[in-house]
Amino acid sequence: MNYNETLNYLYESIPMFQQVGTLAYKEGLSNTLILDKHFHHPHLNYKTIHVAGTNGKGSCSHTLAAILQSAGYKVGLYTSPHLVDFRERIRVNGLPVSTDYVVKFVEEERSFFETLFPSFFELTTAMAFKYFAEQKVDVAVIEVGLGGRLDCTNIIRPDLCIITNISLDHTQLLGNTLALIAGEKAGIIKSDIPVVIGETTEETKPVFIQKAAEVNAPILFAEEEQLLWRWEKNKKGYWQYYTADYPELKGELGGLCQLKNTNTLLLALRILKRLGYNITQKAVEQGFEGVCKLTGLMGRWQKLGSAPTIMCDTGHNIGGMTYIAEQLRLQTYRKLHIIIGMVNDKDISGVLALLPKDAEYYFTKASVKRALHEIDLKFLASQVGLQGNTYSNVPKAFEAAKMNASEKDFIFVGGSSFIVADLLAFLSRK
């Protein structure tokens, strides 16, 4: 099989959460442990840092990887989902795993793993851990896929755990309260390993404290430390951060949510330095300012065009959309155009209620099986006062918005990671 044939085999033969949602979710670590034993426990060959949370874990993982890479470490980075190409999930020093490696892995291991009926994420996690060992990385930043306690990344024993925040998402799998979801995320906390908590609520903080006490894990709360003192936007649209440990940092990621992420990362960096990581001020500065170039990160309040301004963001739940809605309110424009699509297992009405009512909407759907039909989305949107037309796919919606927009207008694309993925894939082909 060539690379595309291999991907088609993986997508069609192995349940993929990105495509089908809860049907692809396998509770428990039994398959993961079997795969790990088969590959001789590759994650024991390098240091790891484990990052969980409802929102922000991708930005934090990529920024941390960029900083460690700038500090001279050979860094593995495992994240999900991918936007344009599967290989985005598995990177070493920013470079995606090769197509040849993906093909060879499936060809050589297919006879073994097919008998297990693994999920897509179980198999790709095993592939990532094996690849990092073969690449002889110094440290790998590992983003949790879903939850934490039963996530198949949770076989590692990291130097540091980070939990960014908790909001209501994947409630059908993780629980329908913040406390229940926090309990699942807290499952990555391990004995004697420090954990940094980015944000808490009255419901979630006791859960983290109790879990840390049970396993004797040092726990630190970024909100209590407040290492980020103040911030402003510079002429390039970057955040200018003034912090306790670094006089000035320029943050390439421009979303409002990055303020919380940055405060979390500043505390995490303190802990890593105490653990013996050699992280210089220059490395921190380079990592924050060049995270997208260094790691290939896309889709975080990403600017895609000017006149009209075109922005996209992968925020897809109430927690993420709260920041996006506020960010849209801060923009200056003649007219706002919003291209939006969602998947059917989210709090759709809750997200739609946050969005501005004075925008023109382009309701569409992503090219995944979980996508909510654009007509259904338009109906739900009308219930909260949002008006617009429907389009059968993202490229059609995007072209319509561009045709309708003047140079002083603002076009936002989002609602789902998969909407952004379809747009980026479309633009890459033009």
pLDDT of residue 204: 92
> ω into residue 42 within 30 of 0, thus cis?
no
| Weakest-pLDDT range from 82-96, 169-183, 300-314 | 169-183
Residue with tokens 């004697």: 192
Domain 302-429 belongs to what architecture?
Answer: Alpha-Beta Complex (3.90)
Lowest mean pLDDT among 2-16, 75-89, 114-128: 2-16
Q: Work out the angle between the directed axes of helices 281-289 and 57-70 (0-180°, nearest 10).
A: 130
pLDDT of residue 175: 67
- Which band of pLDDT confidence, cut at 50, 70 and 90, is reported for residue 22? very low
Sign of CA dihedral 258, 260, 263, 269: negative
Number of other residues whose CB lies within 10 A of the CB of residue 210: 13
pLDDT of residue 176 exceeding 80, the answer is no
Domain 3-295, CATH homologous superfamily name and number: Mur-like, catalytic domain (3.40.1190.10)
Model confidence band, residue 27 (pLDDT cutoffs 50, 70, 90): low
What number is the average pLDDT over the span 296-314?
95
Structure confidence at residue 344 as a pLDDT band (50, 70, 90): confident
Residue with structure tokens 């093909």? 103
Strands 160-163 and 139-143: unpaired
User: Strand pairing partners for 412?
Assistant: 311, 338
CB under 8 A, 24+ apart: contacts of 300-303:
300/58, 300/59, 300/253, 300/255, 300/258, 301/253, 301/254, 301/255, 301/258, 301/327, 303/237, 303/254
pLDDT digits (tens, 9 = 90+) for 413-429: 999 999 999 999 999 98
* pLDDT tens per residue across span 381-412: 999 999 999 999 999 999 999 999 999 999 99
47-61 mean pLDDT: 95
Label residue 83 by pLDDT band (50, 70, 90).
Answer: very high
Entry pTM = 0.93
- Runs of H (alpha helix) within 275-393: 281-289, 291-295, 318-329, 348-352, 374-382
What pLDDT, on a 0 to 100 scale, did the predictor assign at position 14? 72
Residue labelled with tokens 């649209």: 237
Q: Parse the chain into domains and list their residue ranges.
A: 3-295, 302-429
**How confident is residue 173, by pLDDT bands cut at 50, 70 and 90?**
low
Better-predicted residue by pLDDT, 166 or 22: 166
Q: Where are the alpha helices (DSSP H) in 91-204?
A: 99-113, 120-134, 171-174, 178-185
Helix or strand or coil: residue 296?
coil
Six token digits for residue 93:
């020093």
181 neighbors 175 (Cβ within 8 angstroms) = yes
> What local confidence, expressed as pLDDT, does residue 284 receive?
98
Structure tokens at 131: 């690849």
Whether 258 shows a pLDDT value over 70: the answer reads yes
Mean pLDDT rounded to a whole number for the chain: 92
Q: What is the C-alpha to C-alpha distance for residues 359 and 337, in angstroms, rounded to an integer?
A: 6
Q: Which residues of 57-94 are buried (b: 16+ CB within 10 A; e: fewer)?
A: bbbbbbbbbbbbbbbebbbbbbbbbbbbbbbbbbbbbb
